[in-house]
Structure 1
Amino acid sequence: MPTELDPLERHPKAVGPGEQMRMHNSTCFGCGEQSPAGLRLKMFAGDDFFVTATMEVESRFEGGPGVIHGGILSTAFDDVMGMAPLLIGPSAVTVHLEVDYRRPIPIGSTLQFRADIMGRQRRKVYTEAIAHIGDPDDPVATAHAIFVTIRAREHFAAHVENSQLSDDDKRRLRAP
């Protein structure tokens, strides 16, 4: 992370502390309510520049015998950390994601996440996160990521027709 960072300010349209954050989109694998096989993460804004989430580790997320698949955990981290930039501005996409797996996470456990914005430099937003099972001082995994802010309509314009979004949602994305 660079040493010269821009000051952080909460975006005037960001949800308030303790409020549930909006989905990336309704069919997002991480947070979408209409993603049939998705994680359906519900995320909440913190008082400052952080986001929290909880996830039940269901049997359908199994990788090794009786434990979560690392890719599922990576996806959850990506989605939770990807929500944090909305506290300070427009949508952002992942350009770098690094996950450190500390120990196996059993199926049937409840993971709790906290993602913090560590800083911003122009369009880049630096985040870090932890996942734990009940004790934030004893994480089962940690992650770091860099996101770049985007203009969502322009960024996704060439791909919106491939989406599972409703026709109305697709029209909204195409509208100027």
Structure 2
Amino acid sequence: MDQPVVRFGEQPLAQTVAAAAALRRVTGVLLALEHPHPAVDEMTARLATWERELSAVAPADAAPRVGDDLGDERRVYLDHAYDCGAFNPCFPAYRLDHIDGTAAAGRVSFPLPYEGPPGLVHGGFLAVFFDCVIQHHNCATGLSGKTRSLNLTYRRPTPLLTELRFEIERTTAERGITSIAHLRLEDELLCTGEATTVALPPERLVGARFGARRPQSRPATGKEPAP
């Protein structure tokens, strides 16, 4: 697509992207364990240490720097319009293979952390997935906005650990967008998501005004500051 990408926040750090993928993989392994293992105790202890070190340099105010309040004491807002799962392991990761003004298509595979019934994807995560890919399509094609409705129709159970295909069809009216997305296993329809959203140009969205990442004032040493 030739249209330039509009950003709705800062881009995640490469470290954040790498950590998100690792956390998702480790979570899947933890969920598959049948017995206690000393590595889990060691991991938990290290995580507590890392949490203290990172909290010491993170903004004290967890509210995002967007809209009219861009105070430096708040945290930087990461762009949630595209590929949330790339930097946040709580969101599904997917790949878009095609995108234009009226249609998009891609692939997704849900790992173990998204399990509901045995071997199947939890229906709530399917709703999150559809919301993510539909808004990604909208943001990438010039008009987007708040979701007015999102309705899912579950046709067949959705398997974990399986590459699935999805397609999105999009129609735009004067003040709204309707998107219909289908999730398939080969030719079998698993789930359909239909969303209606407000149609706004990027400059009218709150994410069009966001606080940029602050310059690093001191080198990151990996150690907690002295009390």
For the criterion TM > 0.5, the same-fold answer is: yes
The answer as to whether partners of 1:30 and 1:39 remain within 8 angstroms in 2 is no
Alignment TM-score, normalising by the size of structure 2: 0.53
Residue matched to 1:171: none
SS of the residue aligned with 1:65?
coil
Instruction: Kindly indicate whether residue 191 of structure 2 is the aligned counterpart of residue 141 of structure 1.
Output: yes
Counterparts in 2 of 1:106-125, with a 5 A limit?
A: 106-117=159-170, 119-125=171-177
Counterparts in 2 of 1:1-176, with a 5 A limit?
A: 13=3, 26=12, 27=78, 28=80, 31-32=83-84, 33-46=86-99, 49-86=102-139, 88-117=141-170, 119-135=171-187, 138-150=188-200, 155-156=205-206, 167=213
More strand as a share of residues? 1
Relative to 1, partners in 2 of residues 1:23 and 1:44: Cα closer, same or farther, differing over 3 Å?
Answer: farther
Size of the aligned set, in residue pairs, is 145
Relative to 1, partners in 2 of residues 1:22 and 1:116: Cα closer, same or farther, differing over 3 Å?
Answer: farther
What amino acid maps onto 1:103 in structure 2?
R
The answer as to whether partners of 1:53 and 1:114 remain within 8 angstroms in 2 is yes
Comparing 24-33 with 43-52, greater Cα deviation is found at 24-33
Please report how far the alpha carbon of residue 120 of structure 1 lies from its aligned counterpart in structure 2 after TM superposition.
1.7
The answer as to whether partners of 1:43 and 1:54 remain within 8 angstroms in 2 is yes
Question: Which ranges of structure 1 fall in alignment gaps of 5 or more residues?
Answer: 1-9, 16-20, 169-176
Mapped to 2, the partners of 1:128 and 1:149 lie a distance apart of 16
Mapped to 1, the partners of 2:8 and 2:124 lie a distance apart of 21
Please report how far the alpha carbon of residue 43 of structure 1 lies from its aligned counterpart in structure 2 after TM superposition.
1.9
Mapped to 2, the partners of 1:153 and 1:71 lie a distance apart of 31
Question: Which ranges of structure 2 fall in alignment gaps of 5 or more residues?
Answer: 13-77, 215-227
More helix as a share of residues? 2
Over aligned residue pairs, what C-alpha RMSD do you find?
3.3
What amino acid maps onto 1:74 in structure 2?
A
Deviations 1:36-93 (A, max 9, x none): 3322222233466111121112111101122100011111111122223246423333
Mapped to 2, the partners of 1:30 and 1:58 lie a distance apart of 20
Please report how far the alpha carbon of residue 34 of structure 1 lies from its aligned counterpart in structure 2 after TM superposition.
1.8
Residue matched to 1:172: none
What amino acid maps onto 1:110 in structure 2?
E
The answer as to whether partners of 1:84 and 1:116 remain within 8 angstroms in 2 is no
Mapped to 2, the partners of 1:30 and 1:63 lie a distance apart of 25
Higher relative contact order (CA 8 A, sep 6+): 2
What amino acid maps onto 1:147 in structure 2?
T
Comparing 55-64 with 147-156, greater Cα deviation is found at 147-156
> How much identity, in percent, do the aligned residues show?
22
Higher Rg? 2
Relative to 1, partners in 2 of residues 1:46 and 1:36: Cα closer, same or farther, differing over 3 Å?
Answer: closer
